[in-house]
Amino acid sequence: DTEVTQTPKHLVMGMTNKKSLKCEQHMGHRAMYWYKQKAKKPPELMFVYSYEKLSINESVPSRFSPECPNSSLLNLHLHALQPEDSALYLCASSQGASEYGSYEQYFGPGTRLTVT
Amino acid sequence: DQQVKQNSPSLSVQEGRISILNCDYTNSMFDYFLWYKKYPAEGPTFLISISSIKDKNEDGRFTVFLNKSAKHLSLHIVPSQPGDSAVYFCAASAVDYGGSQGNLIFGKGTKLSVKP
């Protein structure tokens, strides 16, 4: 099973709303990631959790707040977003890295976010 | 500065022929390379990977070649099928011995169209 699930599939929110994106994996992976992807662009890394601890924050604005409640779950809390934050938000997980290289990341289907 | 480059934004191939997708990188610390396939409005799907200790990895119709001295890798798909039509992303990673997450740097992608 290499499935990463994400909910909701689509989300439309106003600039004053608070919402959360959810991600779940049951592969025993210890690293989980949030990416943002705009149309015709590659995925851009936002956050990395390693062993449930935030290890990388790629200078993401504070209106995005990640949370890792346990090793299988990853949330992204959204507050006071801007229209330019509209994008596909992807969650991924992996075993992390070994001396031979990084393990592949498995991506969820993404949440299509529209900020009005 | 783009560390992973896919210089061909699109490629069109006849069904049954070979598709060759190219990727160049600049960071000599990269030691693990992956190819992902992405359909519109879906998350990237892992296809195949290669460690820098190898120069070739094969999985069914997909073969990845790595030329470390040229900092170049390519993905060969043979025979190409209409269902292979998608955007293909090349990604690279450097093992972070101080961490465990194995971060990926993506190229901009190449849109492959396989004509029946």
Residue A109 has pLDDT above 70, yes or no: yes
Looking at chain A, which residue has its C-alpha nearest residue B54?
A: A100
Report the residue from A4, A55, A110 with minimal CB separation from B99: A55
- Segment A12-31 shows an average pLDDT of 93
**Amino acid sitting at position B78:** V
Do residues B29 and B44 make contact, with C-beta atoms less than 8 angstroms apart? no
pLDDT value at residue B103: 74
Report the residue from B31, B45, B108 with minimal CB separation from A101: B31
pLDDT value at residue A50: 84
B47-99 confidence digits (pLDDT tens) = 999 988 899 999 999 999 999 999 999 999 999 999 999 999 999 987 664 44
Cβ atoms within 10 Å of B64's Cβ, excluding its own: 24
- Segment A63-68 shows an average pLDDT of 95
A102/B95 touch (CB, cutoff 8 Å), yes or no: yes
Do residues B44 and A104 make contact, with C-beta atoms less than 8 angstroms apart? no
CA distance A5 to A71: 14
A97/B104 touch (CB, cutoff 8 Å), yes or no: no
Looking at chain B, which residue has its C-alpha nearest residue A87?
A: B41
The nearest CA of chain A is from the CA of B99 a distance in Å of 8
Torsion of CA A75, A106, A60, A97, to 10 degrees: 110
Greater confidence (A101 vs A63) lies with A63
DSSP string, A28-72: --SEEEEEEE-TTS--EEEEEEETTEEEEE-S--TTEEEEEEETT
Do residues B24 and B72 make contact, with C-beta atoms less than 8 angstroms apart? yes
What would the two tokens of residue A111 be? 């949440």
Residue A82 has pLDDT above 80, yes or no: yes
Q: Rounded to whole angstroms, what are the CA distances from A81 to A15, A33, A41, A59, A84?
A: 5, 20, 20, 16, 8
pLDDT value at residue A2: 64
